């Protein structure tokens, strides 16, 4: 087994790669990994984690890749490992969002490097999107605008993590809200005014908004949730429940909020604006870009992911039913 640690100096409020290197080296030695059995690299540019992960995976043999950064760094490592069946990718949360891990455990679980090295591999689905691969959520509309705007606040010591997203949301609400979209969901076509929408492989995005409480990353389906175009006042009343997943009740939408929402479990999504107002802002696991149309399809069991020992043990004993050990 070989180990590759990818450390992103741009993740989070400050560069913590020096401390992480020392912690990783200590954990590797405690695990009995010989000096030549690991490599610790600092990423230098956007896409570097992808290139390093792919180069390591090409060498062949069992490989654990640990991506230390945000959801974007993790996504890049998954893209680099894609197609190499002996490579698996783990997430070390040093970014501002790190929404992927919320489905499986806590930030503390994933910051425990000893548990990471003793972890197990599970198979999860990925989404192929117009913005690249996504392990978590691909969103468009107001929520994508919030994600794009949050980047401006992430390095401010007063506004980071969830606070950056909330401040960005307030800014977005001061501008035009809602777009006319054509949604194509497994062949069903819906023309509707939409404030925000999210195609979810996991439950959370945007620094902890629980858009799809029922989403499972191993069921071969996308949980698609859209909020119809509504007044700002109604949206503000809805956002609190949307953040904690309260727009769902049991196995479906909460009855009082159902008129404001669209929910489908599908394998393929296409959406495009029809209002002539130009491109639509979209985001996928840290990548934000305007698109003329957004296409998303599920890739069942497309990735091998390392979960920390305690989290993986919960999956093995049946406490965490959304996972398949591989």
The torsion angle over the Cα atoms of residues 73, 79, 80 and 82, rounded to 10 degrees, is 140
Domain that holds residue 67: 2-125+301-325
Q: With a cut of 80, say whether residue 293 has pLDDT above it.
A: yes
Sequence-distant contacts of 156-163: CB under 8 A, at least 24 apart:
157/13, 160/12, 160/13, 160/96, 161/96, 161/97, 161/207, 162/207, 162/208
d(CA 146, CA 230): 17
Confidence of residue 11 (pLDDT cuts 50, 70, 90): confident
Let me know whether 175 and 290 are in one domain: yes
The mean predicted confidence, pLDDT, of the chain is 88
Q: With a cut of 50, say whether residue 318 has pLDDT above it.
A: no
Confidence of residue 144 (pLDDT cuts 50, 70, 90): confident
Let me know whether 180 and 272 are in one domain: yes
User: Mean pLDDT, to the nearest integer, of 309-319?
Assistant: 62
d(CA 174, CA 154): 20
Let me know whether 109 and 47 are in one domain: yes
pLDDT tens readout for residues 33-66: 998 999 999 999 999 999 999 999 999 999 999 9
d(CA 2, CA 29): 13
Let me know whether 285 and 170 are in one domain: yes
273: Cβ contacts below 8 Å, ≥ 6 apart? 179, 180, 181, 279, 280, 292
Let me know whether 158 and 287 are in one domain: yes
The pLDDT, as a whole number, for residue 320 is 47
User: Mean pLDDT, to the nearest integer, of 262-284?
Assistant: 95
Which residues on neighbouring strands pair with residue 203, listed in sequence order? none
Let me know whether 82 and 143 are in one domain: no
pLDDT tens readout for residues 168-192: 666 666 666 789 999 999 999 999 9
Let me know whether 9 and 121 are in one domain: yes
Let me know whether 95 and 185 are in one domain: no
Q: With a cut of 50, say whether residue 319 has pLDDT above it.
A: no
Neighbours of 276 (CB within 10 A): 6
Let me know whether 175 and 266 are in one domain: yes
Classify 299 as helix, strand or coil.
Answer: strand
Q: Give the total residue count for the chain.
A: 326
The pLDDT, as a whole number, for residue 172 is 61
pLDDT tens readout for residues 195-242: 999 999 999 987 778 999 999 999 999 999 999 999 888 988 888 899
Q: What is the CATH number of the domain that holds 149?
A: 2.60.200.40
Q: What is the CATH number of the domain that holds 113?
A: 3.40.50.10330
Confidence of residue 259 (pLDDT cuts 50, 70, 90): very high
User: Residue 18 — left, alpha, or beta (φ > 0 → left; ψ -120 to 50 → alpha)?
Assistant: alpha
Let me know whether 83 and 150 are in one domain: no
d(CA 203, CA 150): 20
d(CA 288, CA 205): 13
Cβ atoms 199, 181 nearer than 8 A: no
Let me know whether 140 and 119 are in one domain: no
Which residues on neighbouring strands pair with residue 91, listed in sequence order? 67
pLDDT tens readout for residues 59-106: 999 999 999 998 889 999 999 999 999 999 999 999 877 888 888 989
The pLDDT, as a whole number, for residue 171 is 65
Cβ atoms 195, 177 nearer than 8 A: yes
Let me know whether 85 and 162 are in one domain: no
Number of compact structural domains in the chain: 2
């Amino acid at each position: 087994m070989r180990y590759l640690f990818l450390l992103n100096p741009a993740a989070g409020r400050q560069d913590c790669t020096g401390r992480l290197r020392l912690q990783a080296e200590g954990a590797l030695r405690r695990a009995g990994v010989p000096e030549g059995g690991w490599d610790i690299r600092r990423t230098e540019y956007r896409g570097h984690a992808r290139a390093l992960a792919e180069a390591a995976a090409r060498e062949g043999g069992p490989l654990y890749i640990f991506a230390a950064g945000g959801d974007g760094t993790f996504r890049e490592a998954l893209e680099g490992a894609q197609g190499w069946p002996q490579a698996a990718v783990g997430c070390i949360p040093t970014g501002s969002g790190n929404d992927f891990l919320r489905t499986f455990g806590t930030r503390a679980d994933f910051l425990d490097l000893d548990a990471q090295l003793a972890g197990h591999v599970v198979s999860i689905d990925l989404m192929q999107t117009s913005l690249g691969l996504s392990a978590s959520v691909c969103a468009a509309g107001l929520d994508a605008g919030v994600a794009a705007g949050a980047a401006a606040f992430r390095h401010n010591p007063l506004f980071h993590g969830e606070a950056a997203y909330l401040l960005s949301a307030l800014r977005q609400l001061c501008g035009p809200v809602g777009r006319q979209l054509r949604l194509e969901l497994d062949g069903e076509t819906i023309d509707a005014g939409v404030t925000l929408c999210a195609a979810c492989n996991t439950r959370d995005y945007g620094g902890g908004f629980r858009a799809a409480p029922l989403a499972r990353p191993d069921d071969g389906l996308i949980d698609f949730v859209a909020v119809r175009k509504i007044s700002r006042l109604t949206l503000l009343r809805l956002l609190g429940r949307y953040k904690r997943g309260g727009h769902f009740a049991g196995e479906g939408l909460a009855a009082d909020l159902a008129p404001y929402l669209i929910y489908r479990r599908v394998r393929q999504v296409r959406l495009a604006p029809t209002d002539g107002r130009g491109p639509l802002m979209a985001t996928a696991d840290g990548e934000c870009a305007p698109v003329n149309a957004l296409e998303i399809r599920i890739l069942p069991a497309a990735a091998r992911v390392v979960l920390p020992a305690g989290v993986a043990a919960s999956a093995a004993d049946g406490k965490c039913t959304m996972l398949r050990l591989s």
